[in-house]
Copies of this chain bind each other. A is one copy, B any other.
Amino acid sequence: MYRKQTCGELRIANVGQQVTLAGWVQRVRKMGGLTFVDLRDRYGITQLVFDESDGNTALCDKANHLGREFVVQAIGTVRERASKNAKNPTGDIEIVVTELNVISSSEVPPFTIEDNTDGGDDLRMQYRYLDLRRSCVRKNLELRHKLAFEVRRYLDSQNFLEIETPMLIKSTPEGARDFVVPSRMNPGQFYALPQSPQQFKQLLMVAGMDRYFQIVKCFRDEDLRADRQPEFTQIDCEMSFIEQEDILEMFEGMSRHLFKALKGIDLPKLPRMTWADAMKYYGSDKPDTRFDMRFVELMDVMKGHGFGVFDSAAYIGGICAKGAATYTRKQLDQLTEFVKRPQIGAKGMVYARVEADGSVKSSVDKFYTQDVLQQLKAAMSAEPGDLILILSGDDAMKTRKQLCELRLEMGSQLGLRDKDKYSCLWVIDFPMYEWSDEEQRLMAMHHPFTSPKPEDIPLLDTDPASVRANAYDMVINGVEVGGGSIRIHDAKLQQKIFEILGFTPEQAQAKFGFLMNAFKFGAPPHGGLAYGLDRFVSLFAGLDSIRDCIAFPKNNQGRDVMLGAPGEIDQKQMDELQIKVDLKK
């Protein structure tokens, strides 16, 4: 062992002790005859001191020639510091070094190894091994380790078995694109990498495994949006002989365990909100409930007073921003610009301020009497000093989504989205289907194995679009961290669902045959859910991007710039695989 202690453990109680540390040189300062070296390892930073007046000039000289990020071993004695550093847990002491061994030298790193680094994103990704030395990045990985371990500890205590499912599986083109892997032993054939172990976990339930989980890599070959990675990690879970309530209880328990273990937070009982309510009050199936600012529908109040935009609207809805009546005209114009951006797509925004005297001043005063505006105030439960913002449109769902964006923006502007505050809930009763304009058919909102609510089964024949599913999402701070459903375990019902989705029996057999066959041999009632580990960790770490909790992430082009992956392969490899590159001109 090159060290006997770490750079994070020495305290005032260790004064006088002979110690051996090893680590990286964070910085070197020469002050007169004294040289101070900050030595860093995973556990902290400890100050080394070299004193010329001790007579050992060779040693001091060696210290003075250390560069940033050199790896050294230092032997010396712990002594109390003259000027202590309260910000550093080891700040009360320093090491008077008697022996210094340079283990590895270092070129000057391309950016500073500090929380506030001077390195840009691209440079840090190219030298990710240096970026990971920064304590702010390392802490994310430590948190990830701890979170995954606590997940396992909880699920193990609940009799779950972690079972590995295969990575080289069969391509079933449905939903996102598969990554495929040519098979050399079976020329012309391909494996696919799993988008999720969905069908395997259901097979494991048929196999009687009862309570399964897996923390597992999944793959989706999608054009990468802001916070997606082609490979990502799921906490994948499934249980048998359960109903929806059992799943919600079990995984609420897991979240409670995690918040307690990682954050010391006692999570209250999770509220539940139907998907319909989430859309009605927040315009989103993943409402950020750290702040209220619920939508109020204003059709009754605002329609029919001669303001054409509202009079012709299919939906009018408002939010009340407490205390924001002080917003200037410029700020309000910026908000209008915000909702009119193509990504959001609103046509405009109406606002109304509640003055100190209780009167209401709106941007559409010429169409509305103070009497109607007072009705508006009452409907919005607005008080003096509040700002009411209203959107309208000819498609209720689209307008709600626009209002959702406005609500989130106001929440951010008013400082209501504190990263250290957590608001968790279950969103339940999702619809079974959503209409796809592209495919011109109903698509499974969750996936084709999701079971309908028993009371809605008759609607499958008459009005499938209105059927609700036994499906649920866990939402934290406006992020869907996990979701799942109770599955269908009845082959006939499954058949019917496939029909509604427009699969012929042959297509259903080709895509999901092995699962449907399995169901013929005694399928237990089962259901489960999956958490996105990357997002879950990001939330706990208060990160803006999942990238920062992944050791070696890919960029938006799906590239690992450090590795230079993907890359070209040898002709020999291509020949063995019996494939050819066939680039379009």
Binding site for B on A (CB under 8 A): 1-3, 22-25, 40-43, 69-71, 103-107, 109, 127-133, 138, 141-142, 144-145, 148-149, 152, 156, 161-171, 173, 177-193, 200, 203-204, 206-210, 217, 219, 221, 223-224, 230-231, 233, 241-243, 246, 489-490, 514, 518-525, 550-552, 554, 557-560, 562-570, 572-573, 576-584
Interchain CA distance A210-B43 in the complex, whole Å: 9
* Residue pair B107, A583 in contact (C-beta under 8 Å): no
* Residue pair B168, A241 in contact (C-beta under 8 Å): no
16 A–B pairs (Cβ distance < 8 Å), ordered by A: A42-B208, A42-B209, A70-B522, A71-B523, A129-B518, A168-B558, A170-B566, A173-B570, A173-B573, A180-B577, A181-B566, A183-B558, A186-B559, A187-B583, A204-B551, A579-B579
- A164-B550, A569-B180 known; A210 and B41 CB under 8 Å? yes
Q: Given A3-B241, A168-B219, 10 other A-B contacts at CB below 8 A?
A: A69-B521, A104-B522, A109-B521, A141-B163, A145-B161, A145-B163, A163-B551, A164-B551, A168-B565, A579-B582
Top 4 A-B pairs, shortest CB-CB distance: A132-B207, A106-B522, A170-B565, A189-B566
Q: How far is the CB of A451 from chain B (nearest CB, A)?
A: 13
- Chain B residues in 8 Å Cβ range of A22: 241, 524
Task: Report which of B144, B233, B573 forms a contact with A171, defined as CB distance below 8 A.
Answer: B573
- Chain B residues in 8 Å Cβ range of A582: 578-580
Q: A131's closest neighbor in chain B, by CB?
A: B207
- A149-B156, A180-B181, A217-B217 known; A132 and B522 CB under 8 Å? no
Task: Report which of B71, B179, B186, B525 forms a contact with A522, defined as CB distance below 8 A.
Answer: B71
Q: How far is the CB of A65 from chain B (nearest CB, A)?
A: 15
Q: How far is the CB of A253 from chain B (nearest CB, A)?
A: 14
* Residue pair B578, A184 in contact (C-beta under 8 Å): no
Identical subunits present: 2
* Residue pair B181, A217 in contact (C-beta under 8 Å): no
Q: A243's closest neighbor in chain B, by CB?
A: B1
- Chain B residues in 8 Å Cβ range of A24: 208, 522
- Chain B residues in 8 Å Cβ range of A179: 168, 181, 191
- A209-B138, A569-B171 known; A166 and B42 CB under 8 Å? no
- Chain B residues in 8 Å Cβ range of A144: 163-164
Interchain CA distance A193-B193 in the complex, whole Å: 10
* Residue pair A170, B200 in contact (C-beta under 8 Å): no
* Residue pair B170, A563 in contact (C-beta under 8 Å): yes
Kindly name the residue among A24, A168, A179, A568 whose own CB sees the greatest number of chain B CB atoms within 10 A: A168
